[in-house]
Structure 1
Amino acid sequence: MFSLFKLAALFTSVVTLAAAETHTVVFDNRCGTGTPLLKVNGAILSTGGSFTMNGPLRSAIAYLDVGCGANGEGCTMVETTLVNPITPGSGSSTDITLIPPHSFSVTTGFGYFDGCDGAGADCTNANCGTAFHSSGDTGVQVACQTDNVNLAITFCD
Protein backbone atom coordinates (compact mmCIF):
# COMPACT_ATOMS: atom_id res chain seq x y z
CA MET A 1 0.00 0.00 0.00
CA PHE A 2 2.78 2.43 0.94
CA SER A 3 4.64 1.83 -2.34
CA LEU A 4 1.43 2.43 -4.31
CA PHE A 5 1.07 5.79 -2.55
CA LYS A 6 4.69 6.66 -3.44
CA LEU A 7 4.09 5.72 -7.07
CA ALA A 8 0.96 7.88 -7.22
CA ALA A 9 2.84 10.83 -5.67
CA LEU A 10 5.69 10.43 -8.17
CA PHE A 11 3.25 10.31 -11.09
CA THR A 12 1.50 13.47 -9.84
CA SER A 13 4.87 15.26 -9.54
CA VAL A 14 5.89 14.31 -13.08
CA VAL A 15 2.56 15.45 -14.52
CA THR A 16 2.79 18.73 -12.60
CA LEU A 17 6.33 19.37 -13.87
CA ALA A 18 5.34 18.61 -17.45
CA ALA A 19 2.44 21.05 -17.25
CA ALA A 20 4.39 23.88 -15.56
CA GLU A 21 4.17 27.26 -17.27
CA THR A 22 7.40 29.06 -18.15
CA HIS A 23 8.34 32.09 -20.28
CA THR A 24 11.74 33.56 -21.15
CA VAL A 25 12.58 37.10 -22.25
CA VAL A 26 15.91 37.68 -24.03
CA PHE A 27 17.54 40.94 -25.12
CA ASP A 28 19.74 41.78 -28.11
CA ASN A 29 21.22 45.26 -27.62
CA ARG A 30 22.93 46.29 -30.85
CA CYS A 31 23.16 49.98 -29.86
CA GLY A 32 26.54 49.79 -28.18
CA THR A 33 25.18 51.86 -25.30
CA GLY A 34 22.41 51.78 -22.73
CA THR A 35 21.14 49.08 -20.38
CA PRO A 36 18.20 46.85 -21.31
CA LEU A 37 15.71 46.70 -18.44
CA LEU A 38 12.82 44.33 -17.76
CA LYS A 39 10.53 45.41 -14.91
CA VAL A 40 7.28 44.46 -13.22
CA ASN A 41 5.67 46.91 -10.79
CA GLY A 42 8.92 48.88 -10.56
CA ALA A 43 11.02 45.81 -9.66
CA ILE A 44 13.93 45.09 -12.00
CA LEU A 45 13.85 41.50 -13.27
CA SER A 46 16.72 41.83 -15.76
CA THR A 47 19.44 44.28 -16.75
CA GLY A 48 20.06 42.66 -20.11
CA GLY A 49 20.45 38.97 -19.33
CA SER A 50 17.87 36.35 -20.18
CA PHE A 51 15.04 36.18 -17.65
CA THR A 52 12.85 33.12 -17.15
CA MET A 53 9.57 33.31 -15.27
CA ASN A 54 8.13 30.09 -13.90
CA GLY A 55 4.49 30.99 -14.32
CA PRO A 56 2.81 33.91 -16.09
CA LEU A 57 4.71 37.17 -16.63
CA ARG A 58 2.06 39.87 -16.32
CA SER A 59 2.26 43.58 -17.11
CA ALA A 60 6.02 43.67 -17.69
CA ILE A 61 7.78 46.60 -19.33
CA ALA A 62 11.09 46.60 -21.17
CA TYR A 63 13.19 49.41 -22.58
CA LEU A 64 16.76 50.40 -23.30
CA ASP A 65 17.78 52.78 -20.52
CA VAL A 66 19.57 55.61 -22.28
CA GLY A 67 18.60 58.21 -19.70
CA CYS A 68 14.94 57.21 -19.38
CA GLY A 69 12.73 57.80 -16.38
CA ALA A 70 12.16 55.08 -13.77
CA ASN A 71 9.35 53.51 -15.84
CA GLY A 72 10.78 54.14 -19.29
CA GLU A 73 9.52 57.71 -19.60
CA GLY A 74 11.17 59.47 -22.52
CA CYS A 75 12.03 56.18 -24.23
CA THR A 76 10.56 53.59 -26.57
CA MET A 77 8.96 50.91 -24.41
CA VAL A 78 7.77 47.33 -24.90
CA GLU A 79 4.80 46.18 -22.81
CA THR A 80 4.15 42.47 -22.46
CA THR A 81 2.08 39.84 -20.74
CA LEU A 82 3.24 36.29 -21.37
CA VAL A 83 0.65 33.81 -20.19
CA ASN A 84 -0.61 30.42 -21.31
CA PRO A 85 -4.14 30.80 -22.70
CA ILE A 86 -6.88 29.20 -20.64
CA THR A 87 -9.66 30.30 -23.00
CA PRO A 88 -9.49 31.38 -26.66
CA GLY A 89 -7.93 34.85 -26.90
CA SER A 90 -6.61 34.92 -23.32
CA GLY A 91 -2.94 34.27 -24.12
CA SER A 92 0.09 36.49 -24.47
CA SER A 93 0.05 40.05 -25.77
CA THR A 94 2.96 42.39 -26.50
CA ASP A 95 3.21 45.90 -27.94
CA ILE A 96 5.47 48.90 -28.34
CA THR A 97 4.32 52.17 -26.79
CA LEU A 98 5.16 55.76 -27.59
CA ILE A 99 2.21 57.16 -25.61
CA PRO A 100 3.48 60.19 -23.65
CA PRO A 101 5.40 60.35 -21.41
CA HIS A 102 7.09 57.69 -23.59
CA SER A 103 8.74 58.80 -26.79
CA PHE A 104 10.95 57.38 -29.51
CA SER A 105 14.53 56.88 -28.31
CA VAL A 106 16.01 53.94 -30.27
CA THR A 107 14.83 51.46 -32.87
CA THR A 108 13.03 48.76 -30.89
CA GLY A 109 11.54 45.46 -31.96
CA PHE A 110 10.21 42.25 -30.49
CA GLY A 111 9.31 38.78 -31.69
CA TYR A 112 7.89 35.65 -30.14
CA PHE A 113 9.83 32.40 -30.36
CA ASP A 114 9.12 28.78 -29.46
CA GLY A 115 5.54 29.51 -30.54
CA CYS A 116 4.04 32.18 -32.80
CA ASP A 117 7.43 32.41 -34.53
CA GLY A 118 7.51 35.40 -36.88
CA ALA A 119 4.88 37.36 -34.94
CA GLY A 120 6.21 40.64 -33.59
CA ALA A 121 6.75 44.30 -34.43
CA ASP A 122 9.52 46.82 -35.10
CA CYS A 123 9.47 50.57 -34.50
CA THR A 124 12.20 52.42 -36.40
CA ASN A 125 11.09 56.04 -36.01
CA ALA A 126 8.84 58.34 -33.97
CA ASN A 127 5.99 57.94 -36.46
CA CYS A 128 6.06 54.15 -36.80
CA GLY A 129 2.63 52.63 -37.30
CA THR A 130 3.49 49.56 -35.22
CA ALA A 131 3.43 51.37 -31.86
CA PHE A 132 0.78 52.84 -29.60
CA HIS A 133 0.67 56.62 -30.04
CA SER A 134 -2.63 56.87 -28.17
CA SER A 135 -4.66 54.45 -26.05
CA GLY A 136 -7.01 53.77 -28.98
CA ASP A 137 -4.30 52.16 -31.13
CA THR A 138 -5.20 48.64 -29.95
CA GLY A 139 -4.52 47.17 -33.39
CA VAL A 140 -0.78 47.31 -32.72
CA GLN A 141 -0.95 44.65 -30.00
CA VAL A 142 0.56 41.36 -31.13
CA ALA A 143 -1.10 38.33 -29.59
CA CYS A 144 0.13 34.76 -29.20
CA GLN A 145 -2.10 31.87 -28.15
CA THR A 146 0.67 29.30 -27.60
CA ASP A 147 1.68 27.80 -24.25
CA ASN A 148 5.12 28.68 -22.88
CA VAL A 149 5.92 31.22 -25.58
CA ASN A 150 9.10 33.28 -25.22
CA LEU A 151 9.99 36.83 -26.29
CA ALA A 152 13.09 38.38 -27.88
CA ILE A 153 13.53 42.15 -27.68
CA THR A 154 16.04 43.88 -29.95
CA PHE A 155 17.38 47.43 -29.83
CA CYS A 156 19.08 49.26 -32.75
CA ASP A 157 18.56 46.59 -35.42
Structure 2
Amino acid sequence: MFKTLLLLVAAVVAVNAEQHTIHFDNRCGHGTPTLIVGGQIVSTGNDFTKNGPIISAIAYLQTGSCGFNGEHCTMVETTLRNPTSPGSGSSTDITLIPPHSFSVTTGFGYFNGCDGVGQDCTNANCPTAFHNPNDTTVQRACQVNNVDLAITFCD
Protein backbone atom coordinates (compact mmCIF):
# COMPACT_ATOMS: atom_id res chain seq x y z
CA MET A 1 0.00 0.00 0.00
CA PHE A 2 2.82 2.42 0.89
CA LYS A 3 4.63 1.74 -2.41
CA THR A 4 1.43 2.40 -4.36
CA LEU A 5 0.89 5.68 -2.53
CA LEU A 6 4.51 6.69 -3.09
CA LEU A 7 4.23 5.95 -6.83
CA LEU A 8 1.00 7.94 -7.04
CA VAL A 9 2.59 10.93 -5.30
CA ALA A 10 5.64 10.71 -7.58
CA ALA A 11 3.39 10.63 -10.66
CA VAL A 12 1.45 13.70 -9.52
CA VAL A 13 4.67 15.59 -8.77
CA ALA A 14 6.09 14.65 -12.19
CA VAL A 15 2.95 15.87 -13.97
CA ASN A 16 3.04 19.16 -12.06
CA ALA A 17 6.79 19.68 -12.40
CA GLU A 18 7.96 22.97 -13.87
CA GLN A 19 9.57 22.76 -17.33
CA HIS A 20 10.52 25.33 -19.97
CA THR A 21 11.98 25.13 -23.50
CA ILE A 22 13.85 27.76 -25.51
CA HIS A 23 13.69 27.19 -29.28
CA PHE A 24 15.82 28.92 -31.94
CA ASP A 25 14.86 29.72 -35.54
CA ASN A 26 17.92 31.06 -37.39
CA ARG A 27 16.79 32.38 -40.78
CA CYS A 28 20.01 34.31 -41.44
CA GLY A 29 21.86 31.57 -43.29
CA HIS A 30 24.92 32.21 -41.11
CA GLY A 31 25.87 32.49 -37.46
CA THR A 32 25.32 30.26 -34.44
CA PRO A 33 22.43 30.79 -32.02
CA THR A 34 23.98 30.87 -28.56
CA LEU A 35 22.22 30.44 -25.22
CA ILE A 36 24.04 31.07 -21.94
CA VAL A 37 22.62 30.19 -18.52
CA GLY A 38 24.65 30.63 -15.35
CA GLY A 39 27.78 31.58 -17.29
CA GLN A 40 27.71 28.33 -19.33
CA ILE A 41 26.81 27.83 -22.98
CA VAL A 42 23.86 25.41 -22.84
CA SER A 43 22.82 25.52 -26.50
CA THR A 44 24.30 26.43 -29.87
CA GLY A 45 21.06 26.15 -31.80
CA ASN A 46 19.29 23.07 -30.48
CA ASP A 47 16.21 23.36 -28.30
CA PHE A 48 17.12 23.75 -24.63
CA THR A 49 14.68 22.26 -22.14
CA LYS A 50 15.07 22.51 -18.40
CA ASN A 51 13.09 20.91 -15.63
CA GLY A 52 12.68 23.92 -13.37
CA PRO A 53 13.06 27.64 -13.99
CA ILE A 54 15.54 29.17 -16.44
CA ILE A 55 16.93 32.20 -14.62
CA SER A 56 18.81 35.12 -16.23
CA ALA A 57 19.51 33.47 -19.57
CA ILE A 58 20.97 35.40 -22.49
CA ALA A 59 20.75 34.54 -26.18
CA TYR A 60 22.25 36.01 -29.34
CA LEU A 61 23.37 35.03 -32.83
CA GLN A 62 27.14 34.53 -32.72
CA THR A 63 28.30 36.00 -36.02
CA GLY A 64 31.97 36.11 -35.07
CA SER A 65 31.78 39.64 -33.73
CA CYS A 66 29.92 38.96 -30.47
CA GLY A 67 31.64 38.75 -27.12
CA PHE A 68 30.92 35.80 -24.82
CA ASN A 69 28.08 37.69 -23.12
CA GLY A 70 26.68 39.00 -26.40
CA GLU A 71 28.67 42.23 -26.40
CA HIS A 72 28.49 44.08 -29.76
CA CYS A 73 25.36 42.11 -30.77
CA THR A 74 21.58 42.18 -30.35
CA MET A 75 20.80 40.17 -27.24
CA VAL A 76 17.69 38.57 -25.75
CA GLU A 77 17.49 38.38 -21.95
CA THR A 78 14.99 36.00 -20.35
CA THR A 79 13.82 34.40 -17.16
CA LEU A 80 11.26 31.64 -17.57
CA ARG A 81 9.62 30.56 -14.34
CA ASN A 82 6.22 29.62 -13.05
CA PRO A 83 4.61 32.49 -11.16
CA THR A 84 4.35 32.03 -7.41
CA SER A 85 2.57 35.36 -6.91
CA PRO A 86 1.18 38.03 -9.28
CA GLY A 87 3.98 39.48 -11.42
CA SER A 88 6.58 36.89 -10.44
CA GLY A 89 6.51 34.74 -13.59
CA SER A 90 8.48 34.95 -16.83
CA SER A 91 10.01 38.09 -18.33
CA THR A 92 11.89 38.57 -21.61
CA ASP A 93 13.38 41.54 -23.44
CA ILE A 94 15.80 42.57 -26.19
CA THR A 95 18.76 44.70 -25.14
CA LEU A 96 20.88 47.15 -27.07
CA ILE A 97 22.38 48.72 -23.93
CA PRO A 98 26.10 49.30 -24.64
CA PRO A 99 28.29 47.32 -25.03
CA HIS A 100 25.42 45.54 -26.86
CA SER A 101 24.49 46.89 -30.28
CA PHE A 102 22.28 45.98 -33.20
CA SER A 103 23.72 43.11 -35.26
CA VAL A 104 20.82 41.17 -36.84
CA THR A 105 17.02 41.35 -36.77
CA THR A 106 16.01 39.53 -33.60
CA GLY A 107 12.62 38.63 -32.21
CA PHE A 108 11.03 36.45 -29.56
CA GLY A 109 7.62 35.13 -28.67
CA TYR A 110 6.18 32.98 -25.93
CA PHE A 111 4.37 29.76 -26.86
CA ASN A 112 2.44 27.11 -24.94
CA GLY A 113 1.00 30.05 -23.02
CA CYS A 114 0.91 33.81 -23.64
CA ASP A 115 0.89 33.03 -27.37
CA GLY A 116 1.29 36.24 -29.37
CA VAL A 117 3.25 38.05 -26.64
CA GLY A 118 6.74 38.97 -27.80
CA GLN A 119 8.59 41.60 -29.80
CA ASP A 120 10.88 42.18 -32.76
CA CYS A 121 13.88 44.41 -33.23
CA THR A 122 14.66 45.18 -36.87
CA ASN A 123 17.14 48.06 -36.64
CA ALA A 124 19.44 49.98 -34.29
CA ASN A 125 16.68 52.47 -33.39
CA CYS A 126 14.40 49.62 -32.31
CA PRO A 127 11.78 51.11 -29.94
CA THR A 128 11.02 47.66 -28.45
CA ALA A 129 14.54 47.18 -27.07
CA PHE A 130 16.37 48.40 -23.99
CA HIS A 131 18.65 51.30 -24.97
CA ASN A 132 19.30 52.27 -21.34
CA PRO A 133 18.59 50.49 -18.04
CA ASN A 134 15.49 52.62 -17.38
CA ASP A 135 13.57 51.31 -20.43
CA THR A 136 11.66 48.81 -18.29
CA THR A 137 8.47 49.18 -20.38
CA VAL A 138 10.07 47.05 -23.13
CA GLN A 139 10.01 43.89 -21.02
CA ARG A 140 7.35 41.34 -21.95
CA ALA A 141 5.93 39.29 -19.11
CA CYS A 142 4.05 36.00 -19.04
CA GLN A 143 2.25 34.71 -15.97
CA VAL A 144 1.53 31.17 -17.23
CA ASN A 145 3.04 27.95 -15.88
CA ASN A 146 5.53 26.08 -18.08
CA VAL A 147 5.62 28.71 -20.82
CA ASP A 148 8.21 28.27 -23.60
CA LEU A 149 10.10 30.81 -25.71
CA ALA A 150 10.97 30.95 -29.42
CA ILE A 151 13.82 33.24 -30.53
CA THR A 152 14.09 34.10 -34.24
CA PHE A 153 16.98 35.71 -36.09
CA CYS A 154 16.63 37.47 -39.50
CA ASP A 155 12.87 37.16 -39.88
Structure 2 length as normaliser, TM-score? 0.98
Which letter does structure 2 place at the counterpart of 1:91? G
* Aligned with residue 101 of structure 2, among 103, 126, 134: 103
Residue 42 of structure 1: CA displacement? 2.1
Unaligned runs of 5+ in 1: none
* Aligned with residue 53 of structure 1, among 50, 55, 61: 50
Aligned to 1:156: 154
Classify the secondary structure of the residue corresponding to 2:45: coil
* Aligned with residue 60 of structure 2, among 59, 63, 67: 63
Whole-Å separation in 2 of the counterparts to 1:41 and 1:148: 20
Whole-Å separation in 2 of the counterparts to 1:148 and 1:93: 13
Aligned to 1:41: 38
CA deviations over 1:80-107 (Å, ceiling 9, x no partner): 0000001011000000000000000000
Structure 1 length as normaliser, TM-score? 0.97
Classify the secondary structure of the residue corresponding to 1:139: helix
Aligned to 2:116: 118
Aligned to 1:27: 24
Detail structure 1 runs of 4+ shifted over 4 Å in the superposition. none
CA deviations over 1:8-55 (Å, ceiling 9, x no partner): 101111111011000000000000111000001320010001010110
Whole-Å separation in 1 of the counterparts to 2:45 and 2:3: 43
Which letter does structure 1 place at the counterpart of 2:43? S
Alignment coverage as a number of residue pairs = 154
Unaligned runs of 5+ in 2: none
Classify the secondary structure of the residue corresponding to 1:152: strand
Whole-Å separation in 1 of the counterparts to 2:105 and 2:86: 32
Whole-Å separation in 2 of the counterparts to 1:151 and 1:14: 26
